[in-house]
Amino acid sequence: MKINFKLDWKNQISEYKSFLKLEKGLSENSVNAYITDVKKLMEFIVDIKKHPILPHLIQYKHLQNFIFYIAELGVSQATQSRIISAVRSFYKFLLITNKIKKNPAELLETPQLVRKIPDVLNIEEIDKIISLIDLSSEQGNRNKAIIEVLYSCGLRVSELTNLKISHLFLDDGFIKVVGKGDKQRLVPISENAAKLIVLYINNDRKKVNIQQDFEDYLFLNRRGKFLSRNMIFMLIKDLVTKAGITKNASPHTFRHSFATHLIEGGADLRAVQDMLGHESITTTEIYTHIDQSYLRETIISFHPHGKKEH
């Protein structure tokens, strides 16, 4: 009987996809990213190798050959690292579901990544961006509230677009944020951001014909539905261009700026980790590197011995 290797791989990947959704509670985007990367392994094993191997028979040497293959394609170290992470996760799933007795991906090593320090807007640049919002426009109050919430709460763009009115506890100075994997956290909100939200709710939002099932979403588009991620990107791109800022700014830049300014101000790293919703503090630690860079520039600029040798 001839084995359909591709079908067997697809069945295992399909079960893995259900596991990521139901057991791990990952978002649709995260699930699709994992599946896409595991399918790269499937295609390599089934289509490229002369003797295809079933998923549960894969050995470490096969995975090594796959990693060598993607490296030869010239993909970035970050992409290689992401693919290896997906393969590890897939084989961990096969292990805990008793499809395999030994995990062949356990010893896979990810390439050493040089962590890129993201662009950060300074306070003057953020103030300039906010000042350029046309409050007389139909969505002016909404747009100002969006920028202020992004910066003062450090939200991911997906967390902003999914923010609900029922998650606002403005009198207590907090909002409830639903982050990655549907994990919830309470984030402090500034008085200014809270006032702008109330202003938007009492003005711009009341003029929108809100569609069914979108009544609880805070930020709405003209059609009465929640805003897309792309709409937020375009809003920021337009404002940054008008402000004459040449930095590579996106919604995530406001999150980076939020964290950086807190660290510069002396905030505890664990507190910043909690507010950002990072699972690991090593993710938050990148902002200490930004702070160190800021301190170095300050010393060079202002210290008597910083500018020249003595």
Domain boundaries, the chain: 5-96, 123-300
Catalytic pick from 82, 167, 278, 294?
278
Catalytic pick from 180, 185, 225, 229?
180
What's residue 269's pLDDT? 74
Mean pLDDT taken over the chain: 84
Catalytic pick from 142, 255, 256, 261?
255
Please, which pLDDT band fits residue 25 given cuts at 50, 70 and 90? confident
Q: How far, in whole angstroms, is CA 161 from its chain's centroid?
A: 13
Active site includes 287?
yes
Give the type of residue at 153: C
Nearest to 250 by CA among 134, 120, 135, 133: 120
What's residue 147's pLDDT? 96
- Which H, E and C letters describe the chain, residue by residue? CCCCHHHHHHHHHHHHHHHHHHCCCCCHHHHHHHHHHHHHHHHHHHHHCCCCCCHHHCCHHHHHHHHHHHHHCCCCHHHHHHHHHHHHHHHHHHHHCCCCCCCCCCCCCCCCCCCCCCCCCCHHHHHHHHHCCCCCCCCHHHHHHHHHHHHHHCCCHHHHHCCEHHHEEHHHCEEEEECHHHCEEEEECCHHHHHHHHHHHHCHHHHCCCCCCCCCECCECCCCCECCHHHHHHHHHHHHHHCCCCCCCCHHHHHHHHHHHHHHCCCCHHHHHHHHCCCCHHHHCHHHHHHHHHHHHHHHHHCCCCCCCC
The residue that leads in pLDDT, 264 or 222, is 222
Number of CB atoms found within 10 A of residue 133's CB: 20
Catalytic pick from 82, 229, 252, 294?
252
Same fold? 5-96, 123-300: no
Q: Which residue has the tokens 């600029």?
A: 301
pLDDT of residue 294 exceeding 50? no
Catalytic pick from 16, 200, 217, 287?
287
Active site includes 156?
yes
Please, which pLDDT band fits residue 299 given cuts at 50, 70 and 90? very low
Q: How far, in whole angstroms, is CA 104 from its chain's centroid?
A: 29
Torsion of CA 126, 131, 132, 134, to 10 degrees: 130
Catalytic pick from 142, 144, 156, 205?
156
pTM summary value: 0.59
Q: What gap in Å lies between CA 91 and CA 65, rounded to an integer?
A: 16
* Cα separation values, 250 from 27, 115, 138, 155, 233, Å: 21, 19, 23, 12, 6
Q: What gap in Å lies between CA 259 and CA 187, rounded to an integer?
A: 13
As assigned by CATH, the class of the 5-96 domain is mainly alpha
pLDDT of residue 286 exceeding 90? no
In this structure, which CATH number among 3.40.50.2300, 1.10.443.10, 1.10.940.10, 3.40.50.10860 belongs to the domain 123-300? 1.10.443.10
Active site includes 255?
yes
Burial class (CB in 10 A: 0-12, 13-18, 19+), 129: buried
What's residue 282's pLDDT? 62
- Residue 282 tokens read as 């090593």
pLDDT of residue 69 exceeding 50? yes
Active site includes 223?
no
Mean pLDDT of 217-232: 92
